[in-house]
Every structure is written in C-alpha cells, then in structure tokens.
Amino acid sequence: MLKQSIPVLHVNNAAVAEEFYCRRLGFRPEFGVPADGTRRDPCYLGLVRDGAVLHLSSHAGDGVVGGVAYLLVDDVDALHAELRQKDVRIHVGPTDQTWGMREVYVRDPDGNSIRFGNPVAG
C-alpha cells in the first residue's frame, strides 16, 4: 500500500538551498547527510513544514535542476502574503487555474519550481 510521496529536488549548493527553503519558505530541517551540520556538498537534506515533506540533494544523479514540487495548502493567498513579507520572489502570483486550483509558484535559487495550490471554492 502506498503511503506518501516525497519529491526530491536537485540543488547545486546545499547551504544556499537550505537557507532559501528554511528562512524564506518556512521549512525546517528534519535531517541532513552529512550530519555534521556543515552542509558541504554533496549533501542530502530532509525538510518539513506542517505536513509537507521535501528532500533536497546535491548528489550527482539525484534528479536534475529545474524540477517541480507541488504542495497542497489550505490558503494560497495567505501563503502568498507570507512569502511576500519574506521577500520571496514570486514567479506566478495567485491564479485561478482552469483545472480548479488556485496556485502560486516560486523558484528556488537553482531554478526548481515550487508550486502551491488549493482547490478553488465552488
């Protein structure tokens, strides 16, 4: 039985990625390998925010830069306001999509797209 899907995004610099995801997007580190906290590359990081889990890797062969992670949220507009307060550059502002989702997109320092969405009411 399938239980959970965890996106793995490729990053070039684990320390820069960790700063962006934690300080800007509100994730917290759950683990890092190597575990000494240096975030020297290659590195593999597990991040969490609320119930969302992302993994970041600077290991060769773990994905390609330019990947996409889609995260369901309770309120895209509230998240958008939070991200703007943290000076996160918004790639696509809150938009009602034809597929019934309201979404906002950001890009991390490596060009990966992090997409947040909630169902459009009604």
pLDDT in tens, 36-82: 878 889 999 999 999 999 999 999 999 888 999 999 999 999 999 99
Asked if 115 contacts 69 with a C-beta cutoff of 8 angstroms, the reply is yes
Asked if 56 contacts 47 with a C-beta cutoff of 8 angstroms, the reply is yes
What's the CATH superfamily of 8-119?
A: 2,3-Dihydroxybiphenyl 1,2-Dioxygenase, domain 1 (3.10.180.10)
Residue 14: φ, ψ to 5°: -65, -40
Q: Where are the domains of the chain?
A: 8-119
Residues 91-104: tens digit of each pLDDT: 999 999 999 999 99
